[in-house]
Chain A
Amino acid sequence: MKSALRWLLLLFPQDFRQRYSDELLDLLQSKALEIRTRRGRIALARFWLFQILDLFGACVLERLSHLGRPRQLGRRKGERSAMTIWKDIRYALRTLRLSPVFAVATLVTLSLGIGATTVIFSIVDGILLRPLPFEEPDRLVAVWHRVKSRNDQRLEQSLATYLTYRNENRVFEDFGIWAQTHLTVTGVGEPEQVDVQIMTEGVMAALRVQPIMGRPFTSQDMLVRSPVVLILSNGYWQSRFGGDTGVVGQEMQVNGVPATIIGVMPKGFRFHDQNPQIYFPFRHNPSTARMGGGFGFQGVARLKPGVSIAAANRDVARMLPLTVEQHPAPDLTIERLREFGLEPDLIPLKQDVVGNVGSLLWILFATVGLVLLIASANVANLLLARAETRRRDVAVRRALGASRTRLLRQFLTESLVLGVMGGGAGLLLALGGLHLVLLLAPANLPRANEIAIDPMAVGFAFGASIIVGLAFGILPLCSFRKEQLGVALAEWGRGLSAGRRSHSLRSLLAGAEVTLAVVLLIGAGLMVRSFVALQNVDPGFRDPEELLTFRLTIPSVQTSDPAGVVRIYRQLLEDMAPIPGVLSVAATSTVPLDQRSSTYATYVEGVEMTENEIPPSRRYKFVSGNYFATVGNGIVAGRSFTRDDVDQRSRVVIVTQNFAREYWGDPPSALGKRIRNNPRDPWREIVGVVGDVRDDGLSQPARAIIFWPLAVEHFDGNDLFVRRTMGFVIRSAKPLALLPVIRQVVAAAYPNLPLADVRTLDDLVSESMSRTSFSLVMLAIAAVVSVLLGTVGIFGVVSYLVTQRTRELGVRIALGAHRFDIHLLVFRQATLLAIVGISAGLLLANGLSRFMTTLLYGVPADDPATYMAAAIVAATVVIVACYIPSRRAARMDPVAALRSER
């Protein structure tokens, strides 16, 4: 670092440099040490980027100010030194113009490498490095629980825990809970279902965000007796109200109830990647809070200054028993809570938002880093070749009195100019490339709206180009050793093979390129295998592209009676079935893969439980009779639901195969067995077993699911239980073409019911595979680029070797060597390079690929077939790259070869 900085300082005028460079370097080192020990390596990287950018800025400004006062006595020497740098730059540009092929090849290679790295860096920076866009984000935490008795499963907040934590805590400045839901808006234009974030007043307070207009929520707004109020998001305010500044105080119909608009949030406010149209108060009655149920709210808090997460965890642990005292439930005691193993689990809010994309991003960053390395190796090779041809030029200049340092500086300037130009072009590429990558990126990429080519990314691009420029500028210089400068002159015209040292350096570079290309090929290969494995997974439904899905919510103003809700669903199913083109239609509480399912504790008859034990939670879905036929999930044993099951409220359920196997060994044995979700509910008989469903995503293991009829009597304390939000699945050869007709049919029956989340099941499938397909595309691009660059690199090296040996090969041919012998001779050199490069690549990949485990599906990180395939591809590349120069050598006219200068 220090020498690179010293070189950077050369850009400053000499007087400045002499006076301050030692001091400046000393300061930077002390500061860097302090930052590394106090704030870690990421902060250190930011520090250096910022400092390097600043040095550049300062040097330009300092030079400009010099121009402002040109004639200062006693500064002649400094001025002259300043002039030489500009002269070097001009000279570098001129020589580059003289060899346009070299210049273009270098610039394209570099700009691709730097551009790709910058794109991924800006994504890594936007998601992982940059703090959340709130005041003092380090003090923000997500408040979770975890359940010791259930494998540390995560549990959210409930009304009871919220009230106790809010009132009794000693560590939070503000604490609030929130949840994501949908509400139906009528009375402003078309009826529509909007995304809503329900929150208590503490959420915005903790984030320290205020509406730009109107007022934030207060604790009064949360009480069920208070008038209904809401806050608009900026986007919804613009689209639905045209940015009307008089909107505060107006009324809207929400789920059929009038609500007053009290504020508008600022533009760009987004919390937890939710993008709701409306913020709604969490209206509750504190006296109804009971500990032990109703978990489903996420908690967010701002810690008081100086409070650590560990201390906050201790405080919440202290409050947990209080929740039982303050909000007692009939059969819940503190002992039972303790046995259940409920513990607080606070994590930094940023970690909660970013989730698990970290590994994916670091892998991508490492991948493009490798591409950049290969690109640099190629450029270094090109420069080495050029340095060879310029040996004599250098020798002459040396003989004419150019100092060694002067020559070194000139070469370095040249490579730096190349680096900076490549960086500039790379930055332009990155601007376009980022959009492309974000289009490909998984839809659920967190903080995606915060990603941009910002000053940090620009700084990164330039930092990278300087470092790369310096690195490959220094390499060729290694081949110019002191004594060689003289030797080169003496060798003039003698045709000896020049510079063994540079020769082995170039082979080393080409070998390194092979190594890195093998690593990237293996990465891409593993992703391809995962992708194929995912394609072959049986998801528990057939032909998802034929399945249209959407959701409807029946507001209580439409009908307050559960039986009425059932009648509406029945009516809708009957209206939609006869539409021409509809093959089949069914209702389900949650569509496959939509991540909206709820789980319930499930008792199985005959399974012994200790007195206070709570059985494991299972996922429940409530479906209409022909659901399984519609989605194409086969009945493994027993029967499907019938219309009578729904109408006569039969006490029956259908379970997935894995549930049946878990308890009874095989699917048929499950038939006739009984389950329930509450000790006070009647038992329900298992009448059918269906195939497993990959409900959490194709790459996730299938969860056990229990299917219930659409309407259930005596369920969890309800006389008649029916979901007010229901998903619909419609099978048709052209599902999207049907959509207008379906909308008409629904609107004709119930004008105020909007369709929400309309999409084909195929969209949900692609979304669930997006992480894999995104990594696949990125790694495949990297692998292809690296193979291309590697081919060019090896081709260059072998061609060069052949040219070096022209005379020798000519002699051999003249003496009767067969064409095949010549091929053999050339290939023997390349084979060594290939074997060493490929073996090193396999070893390196074996070490690195285990970091990819989280991205892989159905293929181990050390899959031998993939490794073999990568090695074969790499070997083919080497052979192809050798073939052309080798053929040229074999077909050479021996007379011409002997006459040639070399």
Chain B
Amino acid sequence: MGRRSASDGTVLTLLMFQILLALSKGERHGYAIMQEIEERSAGAFGIGAGSLYRSLKALVDAGLIAEGKPRPEVHRQRRYYRLTVLGRKRLAVEARLFDRILEWAREEQILDPTPS
């Protein structure tokens, strides 16, 4: 996806979209984000740490996510991230777009109409 230029100019990759999704339930650190994405995709979507932090950096720079307060008492080195208002809006926009694309794929019988 993501070739579409959004209002703020950031292009979302599939990984970024999944990061936003993983943060939709609340604050998470990098490791937890990785776990969540891998679990959700049943391990089909391998994530490199380099790509992950590159994406996190891009999302922070674009203002879609923000760094939370550090929690040295829990884990000194882990930084927490959360969705910003802008990020949540963007996630909804992208998800709707995805939904339409998937609908299309179903019409073309690429996907089973009733997933087993």
**Which residues in A have some Cβ–Cβ distance to B below 8 Å?**
16, 19-20, 22-24, 26-28, 30-31, 50-51, 53-59, 61-62
Contacts and interface: CB of A to CB of B under 8 A. Distances in A.
A54 B48 contact: yes
B63 interface: no
A318 to B, nearest CB: 30
Interface of B: 29-31, 34, 46, 48-54, 56-57, 77-79
A19 B48 contact: no
A20 B58 CA distance: 12
B49 A55 contact: yes
Contacts of B78: 23, 26
Contacts of B34: 27, 31
A462 to B, nearest CB: 14
Most interface-central of B31, B54, B56, B79 (chain A CB within 10 A): B54
A22 B77 contact: yes
Nearest to A22: B77
B48 A53 contact: yes
Contacts of A51: 48-50
24 contacts: A16-B53, A19-B57, A20-B53, A20-B57, A22-B77, A23-B30, A23-B53, A23-B79, A26-B77, A26-B78, A27-B49, A31-B31, A50-B48, A51-B49, A51-B50, A54-B48, A54-B49, A54-B51, A55-B48, A55-B49, A55-B50, A57-B48, A57-B51, A62-B54
B77 A23 contact: yes
Contact of B54 (A22, A53, A56, A61): A61
Contacts of B46: 50
Most interface-central of A23, A53, A57 (chain B CB within 10 A): A23
Contacts of B48: 50-51, 53-55, 57-58
Contacts of B77: 22-23, 26
A16 B61 CA distance: 12
Contacts of A20: 53, 56-57
A28 B77 CA distance: 12
Contacts of A19: 57
B33 to A, nearest CB: 9
Instruction: Give 10 closest A-B pairs by Cβ, nearest first.
Output: A54-B48, A58-B50, A55-B50, A26-B77, A20-B53, A54-B50, A58-B54, A27-B31, A22-B77, A27-B30
Contacts of B50: 24, 51, 54-59
Most interface-central of B49, B50, B56, B57 (chain A CB within 10 A): B50
B24 to A, nearest CB: 21
Contact of B57 (A16, A22, A27, A30): A16
A58 B51 contact: yes
B49 A24 contact: yes
Contacts of A54: 48-51
A244 B46 CA distance: 40
Contacts of A61: 54
A316 B68 CA distance: 56
Contacts of B79: 23
Contacts of A24: 30, 49-50, 53
A50 B50 CA distance: 10
Nearest to B33: A27
Given A23-B78, A24-B53, A27-B34, 16 more contacts: A16-B53, A16-B54, A20-B53, A23-B79, A24-B30, A24-B50, A27-B31, A31-B34, A54-B49, A54-B51, A56-B50, A57-B48, A58-B51, A58-B54, A61-B54, A62-B54
Nearest to B30: A27
A476 B50 CA distance: 30
Nearest to B46: A50
A669 to B, nearest CB: 67
A30 B31 contact: yes
Nearest to B77: A26
A304 B106 CA distance: 28
A24 B29 CA distance: 11
A59 B50 CA distance: 8
Nearest to A55: B50
A23 B48 CA distance: 14
Contacts of A59: 50
B83 to A, nearest CB: 19
Nearest to A47: B46
A26 B29 CA distance: 11
A77 to B, nearest CB: 18
A58 B49 CA distance: 9
Most interface-central of A27, A59, A62 (chain B CB within 10 A): A27
A78 to B, nearest CB: 13
Contacts of A57: 48, 50-51
Nearest to A30: B31
A212 to B, nearest CB: 16
A58 to B, nearest CB: 3
A22 B29 CA distance: 13
A576 to B, nearest CB: 59
B44 to A, nearest CB: 12
A31 B51 CA distance: 15
Contacts of B54: 16, 58, 61-62
A20 B51 CA distance: 12
B109 to A, nearest CB: 15
A56 B49 CA distance: 11
A32 to B, nearest CB: 10
A31 B31 CA distance: 8
A115 to B, nearest CB: 26
A312 to B, nearest CB: 23
Nearest to A61: B54
Contacts of A56: 50
A16 B53 CA distance: 9
A53 B29 CA distance: 23
Contacts of B31: 26-27, 30-31
Most interface-central of A53, A56, A58, A62 (chain B CB within 10 A): A58
A16 B51 CA distance: 12
A323 B33 CA distance: 52
A446 B77 CA distance: 47
B67 to A, nearest CB: 9
A50 B45 CA distance: 12
A26 B77 CA distance: 7
A61 B15 CA distance: 15
A62 B53 CA distance: 10
Nearest to B75: A26
A169 B82 CA distance: 51
A481 B52 CA distance: 39
A23 B57 CA distance: 12
A198 B54 CA distance: 53
A50 B48 CA distance: 7
A508 B31 CA distance: 43
A58 B52 CA distance: 9
Nearest to A54: B48
A682 B29 CA distance: 82
Contacts of A58: 48, 50-51, 53-54
A357 B14 CA distance: 41
A584 to B, nearest CB: 63
A23 B79 CA distance: 7
A535 B29 CA distance: 65
A679 to B, nearest CB: 55
Most interface-central of B51, B53, B78, B79 (chain A CB within 10 A): B53
A57 B51 CA distance: 8
